[in-house]
Chain A
Amino acid sequence: MIAPDQSLQEIYRHRVLEHSRNPHHFQRPRNIDHEALGFNPLCGDKLSVYLKIEDGCVADIGFDGTGCAISVASASMMTDAMAGQSLDDVKKMIGEVQDMLAEGISLDHPRLQDLAALEGVRNYPSRIKCATLAWSTLDAALNQTATQVTTE
């Protein structure tokens, strides 16, 4: 692997490429009680997010599907951040990442350090939805508001 061009590092940081090549929690856990399918109609990407909630905490989490480097890396980092966390923290983190990608507000939660690698995506309007797909899908899975969400 070679390091990407200077200008491309803004969006494809080393950490992003690592997660996209070897995504974490890239499977459907055995016993789940929440799930949702996220769809990005712009590119046809589909990600499913799976959860098992126990005692108000994320006991297990996973995802699968197809996506670009940005959406897979974002989903992978998300599952790392969420494992074992209370639902209050989960909701707080979802809000922070969405605010970071939509408004450019810096991340604060200690579990979101990796996610700072996605800050540069904000400068690529056509790619922001790639980064938010996993997060809106997780949100939908938690709320069970819909079995399928889209980025539109």
Chain B
Amino acid sequence: MSSMAPDNITGGLDIEAIRADFPILQQKVHGCRLAYLDNAASSQRPHSVIEAVSHYYEHDHANVHRGVHSLSHRATDAYEGAREKVRKFINASAASEIVFTGGTTESINLVAASLGQDIGPDDEILISHMEHHSNIVPWKLLCERTGATLRVAPINKRGELILEEMLAMLNPRTRIVALAHVSNALGTVNPVSKVIEAAHELDIPVLLDGAQAAPHAAVDVQKLGCEFYAFSGHKMCGPTGIGVLYGRQDVLERLPPWQGGGEMILSVSFEDTVYNKLPYKFEAGTPHIAGAIGLGAAIDYLDSIGMDRIAAYEAQLRDYAGQRLSEIDGLRIIGEAESKVGVHSFVIDGIHPHDLGTVLDHKGVAIRTGHHCAMPVMDFFCVAGTARASLAFYNSAEDIDQLIDALGVATEMFA
């Protein structure tokens, strides 16, 4: 295997030590070293996260907020401790603004369902052309239910939001702006502060889909000023099935609950129900306690490295990968935004993304191929799908070199 990587791509991190923390990276696939470059779909977990989840199940599990026994206390403390870690991670002002959900998708559905109870046929929802299906379909369903109109801000050929057009679409009928902080298919970092500022001039709330942002850079919801911020645990080294909806206190207070059940009430009779305080009003039923605890452990792990250092290292790796990919004949990067994270979507002349995916798998390289749950983006670029290499801080320059070598095998094979 060629090793073209300059030695200085480390961002000051001890990448070998970090990689050693991830048991799953220590395996071979089809006899090759595993180069896991599908982090935008789902990241991997360090041993500390796996250990936190199993420790919880082995020692502390009981239902939360209910029993008076020791296990229930411990489970409640661990669950609420995780909420506090999330609060700190995104700098929310209170833990009551952190609602645990099943993931980004459920977080967005929560807002669409809850806010939707007050939306009518004259109202508009504003999204962008680069949204993941999870930030399109809940709003489309809401529009179908209420007769409201879904408006879509356009993107340009580089895969960037056309900001002035989005801002021009804001009007007094706009009830919410729902926008990706970072695009999953293109890696584009959106100018969310400008959108929030303009929306707030008209008192329009903004929801940011932070699924691809929270794992890669420090997020400060107070600085952003958005009303809602949604993200997933499994894309940031936490368990699957756990996610977060941040909602600003005053906004969450005004929203009605979206699911009914235990936990979300203070008292129930057949005549009257009193809803619980925040955030429990939005957490009906027994929550994913182990998931929240695992997410808390993931946040501890990320904090031990530092989100700023992670962002700096991933930027170096992104540039190195971009440079190496550009050396391949017939390869076209889809998404060349000036500001982007370590996501490289690409197509190669004459090779279908799925064939690329299979050949790369045989070389131990895991990438995503297809439409990335962003079919409108694929339509915009006139491709059925792309191959996407997406980075995390535990990737090394060697992973990139392995990707490039494997792409060489594919291009020779299908030439």
Residue positions of A touching B, CB distance < 8 A: 1-2, 4-5, 7-8, 11-12, 17, 21, 42-46, 66-70, 124, 127, 130
Contact = CB atoms under 8 A, between A and B. Distances in A.
A130 B355 CA distance: 10
Given A43-B369, A43-B371, A130 B362 contact: no
Contacts of B413: 1-2, 4, 8, 12, 17
Given A1-B415, A67-B352, A43 B370 contact: yes
Given A43-B353, A44-B371, A69-B352, A8 B359 contact: yes
A26 B369 CA distance: 25
A8 B378 contact: no
Given A8-B362, A17-B414, A43-B370, A127 B354 contact: yes
Contact of B409 (A5, A42, A46, A69): A5
A67 B413 CA distance: 17
A43 B385 contact: yes
Contact of A68 (B355, B362, B409, B415): B355
Interface in B337-356: 352-355
A46 B375 CA distance: 14
A5 B362 contact: yes
Contacts of A45: 352, 384
Contact of B412 (A2, A42, A67, A70): A2
Interface of B: 30-31, 352-355, 358-359, 362, 369-371, 375, 378, 384-385, 409, 412-415
Given A43-B371, A44-B384, A67-B352, A127 B415 contact: no
Given A17-B414, A70-B355, A127-B354, A7 B362 contact: yes
A43 B358 contact: no
Contact of A66 (B370, B384, B412, B414): B384
A110 to B, nearest CB: 29
Contacts of B354: 43, 68, 70, 127, 130
A41 to B, nearest CB: 9
A124 B361 CA distance: 11
A139 B30 CA distance: 36
Nearest to B352: A68
Given A5-B409, A8-B362, A127-B354, 10 more contacts: A2-B412, A7-B30, A8-B359, A12-B413, A43-B352, A43-B384, A43-B385, A44-B375, A70-B354, A127-B358
20 contacts: A1-B412, A1-B413, A4-B413, A7-B362, A11-B358, A12-B359, A17-B413, A43-B369, A43-B370, A43-B385, A44-B370, A46-B384, A66-B384, A67-B352, A68-B355, A70-B354, A70-B355, A124-B358, A127-B354, A130-B354
Contacts of A127: 354, 358
Contacts of B31: 7
Contacts of A17: 413-414
A2 B415 CA distance: 9
B410 to A, nearest CB: 9
- Count chain A CB atoms within 10 A of each CB in B355, B370, B378 and give the residue with the most: B355
A20 to B, nearest CB: 8
Given A5-B362, A7-B30, A69 B355 contact: yes
A1 B385 CA distance: 25
Contacts of A8: 358-359, 362, 413
A8 B360 CA distance: 10
A11 B354 CA distance: 12
Contacts of A68: 352-355
Q: Closest 3 CB pairs between A and B?
A: A68-B352, A44-B384, A68-B354
A12 B358 CA distance: 10
Among B352, B353, B354, B378: residue with most chain A CB under 10 A: B354
Contacts of B370: 42-44
Contacts of B414: 17, 21, 69
Contacts of B352: 43, 45, 66-69
B157 to A, nearest CB: 20
A32 to B, nearest CB: 24
Contacts of A2: 412-413
For A67, A69, A124, the residue with the greatest tally of chain B CB atoms inside 10 Å of its CB is A69
